[in-house]
Amino acid sequence: MTRFASLGAARPTLLAAALMLAFACAAPTASAAQAPAAIKINQLGFLPASHKLAVVPGTAATRFAVVDGASGKQVFEGSLSAPANWEASGESVRLADFSALRTPGSYRVRVAGLPDSAPFPVAPDAYRALDAGAIRAYTMNRASIALSPAVAGAYARPAGHPDTRVEVHASAASAKRPAGTVISSPKGWYDAGDYNKYIVNSGISTYTLLAAYEHFPAWFDKLGLQLPESGNGVPDLLNEALWNLDWMITMQDPDDGGVYHKLTNKSFDGMVMPDKATGPRYVVQKNTAATLDFAATMAAASRVLAPFDRQQPGRAARYLAAAEAAWAWAEAHPDVLYQQPADILTGGYGDKKVDDEFAWAAAELLATTGKDAYRAQALAAGDPAQTEPGWADVRPLGWITLAQNGKRLSAADQAAVRKPLLENADKLAARWQASPYRVSMADKDFVWGSNAVILNQAMMLVAAYRLQPRPAYLNAAQSALDYVLGRNGPGMSFVTGFGAVSPRHPHHRPSEADGIAAPVPGWLVGGPNPGQQDLKGCPTAYPSKLPALSYLDHACSYASNEVAINWNASLVYVAAALQSLVK
């Protein structure tokens, strides 16, 4: 949820933690995942032309080798960089750069006196399975559908949450829909480790997947995902997005265009499978942020789905009409902030500033319609200190879309979009270059969802690279993926089911309740977070208070080990970007 979740906004609540304790989460996991790995490396490997780095901690050695994974034969040799201290992890580290090794194969990095690194491939499709898995994680989190073995393999399960009988909560009551009115609002993705559906977080998540397709269609046109809809003539990434769009559009009040904040239980479900969670469901308060996030996402969806109007007749037009109706509601209600009702205890996703939501929605509407009415708000300047988007800070998403759709802009306006994007990327690249671990994160970025902070920074670097192909932008984006896949404090892949060492106990109800030892694969966990907001609910301690090591692979740890649809979206995007751009 990026940094602002840590400011008290978010879901999951302490109630979730209390439920966890009630379930008496058996043995604390002091897994190998918690022990610092000797040599830290992207465990999914590299594309042949990738920038390739490993981090080597605590060594006096000055040379390293790369050896063939099978034969042990040395294939590359180089000098380690001078040692430098990374305060975030309290380590002295050296860097091994073997970018010149481009021959496909399986390898390990070797340094005298240390265990070899985890094995890793160099392969032209190194991130194909990862990208597919990260999208299929959404499939596995679909509400209102049974997942068959053909789609979900061992993780097949009955349908949960039909959401065909949802009550209008008192906070959402209107003249035509008084409290208690029953509406139908099925489909959508469960937001995270819980089973509720939130428009604000659905907005950035769905947009990021749509943007991934808009920017890299050739990659996704060939990425089949074994979805229920596969083979229907629509690319599978868009099929997956449509599952959530089908839900989102039901969250608009047809009488006035305003959009409900969330579809939710009154309190979090227990750690049960979806079909065992049967509490009544409600739609809650219409507000400005949710309505604008909806407008932005529907405008983007209209644009991206327009080429598929033969397969999905009328959809693009319907989404645009929904977006414009939402925009009109927001203009008439510019300052309705979400207030969590007293009887609703699920995630808040409250946002106190909506100027960025206006800017993002205006940018998407401008890119889709070309109407001058949206121009001024679309181009409104933001805070230059903001380096990446998050669910509560969406203005950078508008810059990304305007850069992609420059044909809608005058030359002067195109320059006005390029400038902040390139300045931001220069800042991130400079931080990356100066970092002992070669990561674009500042110390302050180790917050709730830190893994998505760095991947959203990578999205911004990619946006800049597509305007101005400076190698440092793409190399810093590669480093962001390297970071979440193993070149990090704990030395593990933060994506379930991918890499030599990865999370085993994410805070994710199906993963805990399904009776299968391995977690549902393809999920990026939140990652190191020294805020440790879940401390009181956890039966085992975090291994460290250091920012980059403050990670706990336990289902109790919603503050470092939950999964979320917005976090995974940045992973889907960055993996596809590297596959498409690294040549």
Active-site residues: which are they? 194, 507, 553, 562
Please identify which residue in 392, 400, 447, 555 interacts with Ca ion, judged by CB under 5 A. 392
Instruction: Enter the DSSP assignment of 32.
Output: G
User: Residue 208: which of 579, 474, 581, 575 has the closest Cα?
Assistant: 575
Give the shortest CB-69-to-Ca ion separation in angstroms. Answer: 30
Contact string 464-503 vs Ca ion (x = CB under 5 A): ----------------------------------------
One-letter amino acid for residue 389 of the chain: P
Pairing of β 120-122 and β 74-79:
unpaired
Listed in order, strand segments (DSSP E) in 136-208 are 166-168, 182-183, 197-198
Give the shortest CB-504-to-Ca ion separation in angstroms. Answer: 9
Q: Which is nearer to Ca ion, 194 or 482 (CB)?
A: 194
Listed in order, strand segments (DSSP E) in 186-333 are 197-198, 260-264, 282-286
Asked if 353 touches Ca ion (CB under 5 A), the answer is yes
Stretch that binds Ca ion, among 78-86, 225-233, 386-394, 552-560 (CB under 5 A): 386-394
Q: Which is nearer to Ca ion, 19 or 481 (CB)?
A: 19
Sites for Ca ion among residues 142-171 (CB under 5 A): none
Backbone angles phi, psi at 76, to 5 degrees: -160, 150
Q: Which is nearer to Ca ion, 478 or 511 (CB)?
A: 511
Please identify which residue in 240, 293, 356, 445 interacts with Ca ion, judged by CB under 5 A. 356
Please identify which residue in 351, 388, 482, 534 interacts with Ca ion, judged by CB under 5 A. 351
Q: Which is nearer to Ca ion, 269 or 356 (CB)?
A: 356
Pairing of β 197-198 and β 260-264:
antiparallel
Report the alpha-carbon angle 184-254-367, nearest 5. Answer: 110
Q: Which is nearer to Ca ion, 78 or 382 (CB)?
A: 382
Q: Which is nearer to Ca ion, 174 or 386 (CB)?
A: 386
d(CA 196, CA 206): 16
Give the shortest CB-15-to-Ca ion separation in angstroms. Answer: 22
Give the shortest CB-357-to-Ca ion separation in angstroms. Answer: 5
Instruction: Enter the DSSP assignment of 513.
Output: H
Total residues binding Ca ion (CB under 5 A): 7
Give the shortest CB-46-to-Ca ion separation in angstroms. Answer: 30
Give the shortest CB-394-to-Ca ion separation in angstroms. Answer: 6
d(CA 320, CA 8): 34
Stretch that binds Ca ion, among 236-244, 308-316, 387-395, 575-583 (CB under 5 A): 387-395
What DSSP string runs through 291-341?
HHHHHHHHHHHHHHHGGGTTTSTTHHHHHHHHHHHHHHHHHHSTT------
d(CA 219, CA 229): 19
Q: Which is nearer to Ca ion, 431 or 507 (CB)?
A: 507
Report the alpha-carbon angle 571-393-17, nearest 5. Answer: 70
Asked if 321 touches Ca ion (CB under 5 A), the answer is no
Stretch that binds Ca ion, among 307-315, 345-353, 455-463, 567-575 (CB under 5 A): 345-353
Q: Token digits for 520?
A: 């549902």
Q: Token digits for 287?
A: 């507000």
Give CB contacts under 8 A, 24+ apart, made by 227-231: 227/136, 227/139, 227/151, 228/145, 228/148, 228/151
Instruction: Enter the DSSP assignment of 175.
Output: S
One-letter amino acid for residue 515 of the chain: G
Q: Which is nearer to Ca ion, 348 or 547 (CB)?
A: 348
Asked if 388 touches Ca ion (CB under 5 A), the answer is no
Give the shortest CB-510-to-Ca ion separation in angstroms. Answer: 7
Give the shortest CB-515-to-Ca ion separation in angstroms. Answer: 7
Task: Please list the residues that pair with 85 across neighbouring strands.
Answer: 92
Q: Token digits for 503?
A: 């999370």
Instruction: Enter the DSSP assignment of 46.
Output: B
d(CA 502, CA 518): 10
Exposed e or buried b for every residue in 540-554, given b needs 16+ CB within 10 A? bebbbebbbbbbbbb
Report the alpha-carbon angle 489-429-200, nearest 5. Answer: 75
Stretch that binds Ca ion, among 354-362, 376-384, 446-454, 546-554 (CB under 5 A): 354-362
d(CA 407, CA 409): 5
Give the shortest CB-375-to-Ca ion separation in angstroms. Answer: 20
Sites for Ca ion among residues 500-529 (CB under 5 A): 511, 514, 516
Q: Which is nearer to Ca ion, 167 or 514 (CB)?
A: 514
Give the shortest CB-296-to-Ca ion separation in angstroms. Answer: 12
Q: Which is nearer to Ca ion, 42 or 557 (CB)?
A: 557
d(CA 117, CA 95): 13
Backbone angles phi, psi at 453, to 5 degrees: -60, -50
Task: Please list the residues that pair with 282 across neighbouring strands.
Answer: 167, 264
Q: Token digits for 420?
A: 């902040």
Residues that bind Ca ion (CB under 5 A): 351, 353, 356, 392, 511, 514, 516
